[in-house]
Amino acid sequence: VTRLNCGYDKQAAALAGGSQFVAAGTATAITATTMTKTGAFTGLTLDYHVVVIVDQTTPFGAWFGLIISNTNDALTVDRWNNPGTPEGAAGTPTTGTHNYSYLIVPGSAPAMYMALSADTAAVSATDTSLASEITTSGGGLIRQRAVYAHTAGTSTATLTGTFTANGSDSLPVTVAKVGTFSTVAGATGKPMWEESLVAGNGGPGVATLNVSGDQLTATLTITL
């Protein structure tokens, strides 16, 4: 598995709290993927951080988003996640001008999600996206939360995904590359690690899924 250059950026932010700050305030507007607070983010680089929003109006509610980018006045997140089920459907906070408090916290989960691709090219450390990521709406091969595993006292951890093809997927498909992300929405964010499955690239061999119900399981072992 190859740690990408943008993966080092993620790791630095996660381990050391990032280059910026912890911030809090009251948002002026929310959409499904943005949060606005005029002037609040001027001069800051907040990608890889987590922003938590809390609805201050009955019946309240709280969600979090992984920041993909920001301007002086707004944050763009992959989506608003339900805290208890980040692998599930997106949260649905009330949009528009509403009474939200927000908190930007340092760090993130830089490789919480795993994605697949049929791209056979070798991994390059300068990759900033997973080329040809499978993003079929409703399909079973889309980005999903990975199983994180660690044995106490050791210097490695694993990320495992098992993807089950369904009737929405375009089959057959030969999966040739795996990437990990902090964001769940397909084709968003930057990968931390990638691994080519192509034997000629040092991988274990590509895997072809032919029919609905076929499953692909990939485990990436990472050295911390």
Structure tokens at 16: 């050391």
Residue 224 makes contact with other proteins by CB under 8 A: no
Site for other proteins, residues 119 to 148, rule: CB under 8 A: 138-140, 142, 144-148
> How many chain residues are in contact with other proteins, going by CB under 8 A?
45
If the CB atoms of residues 96 and 224 are measured against other proteins, the closer one turns out to be 224
If the CB atoms of residues 22 and 211 are measured against other proteins, the closer one turns out to be 211
Kindly state the smallest distance separating residue 105's Cβ from other proteins, in Å.
Answer: 19
Q: How many angstroms separate the CA atoms of 160 and 185, rounded?
A: 18
Element (H, E) at 157: strand 156-164
Site for other proteins, residues 161 to 180, rule: CB under 8 A: 161-164, 166
Q: Which of 36, 120, 132, 160 binds other proteins (CB under 8 A)?
A: 160
In DSSP terms, 70 is beta-bridged to 75
Nearest to 35 by CA among 121, 119, 101: 101
Kindly state the smallest distance separating residue 95's Cβ from other proteins, in Å.
Answer: 22
Kindly state the smallest distance separating residue 137's Cβ from other proteins, in Å.
Answer: 10
Q: How many angstroms separate the CA atoms of 161 and 165, rounded?
A: 13
Q: How many angstroms separate the CA atoms of 33 and 56, rounded?
A: 19
Kindly state the smallest distance separating residue 146's Cβ from other proteins, in Å.
Answer: 8
If the CB atoms of residues 47 and 119 are measured against other proteins, the closer one turns out to be 119
Kindly state the smallest distance separating residue 21's Cβ from other proteins, in Å.
Answer: 26
Residue 76 makes contact with other proteins by CB under 8 A: no
φ, ψ at 66 (rounded to 5°): -90, 120
In DSSP terms, 102 is beta-bridged to 25, 53
Nearest to 80 by CA among 183, 161, 179: 183
Q: Do 161 and 111 touch, CB atoms closer than 8 A? A: no
* Contacts with other proteins, residue ranges (CB under 8 A): 85-89, 138-140, 142, 144-156, 158, 160-164, 166, 184, 197, 204-205, 207-209, 211, 213-219, 221
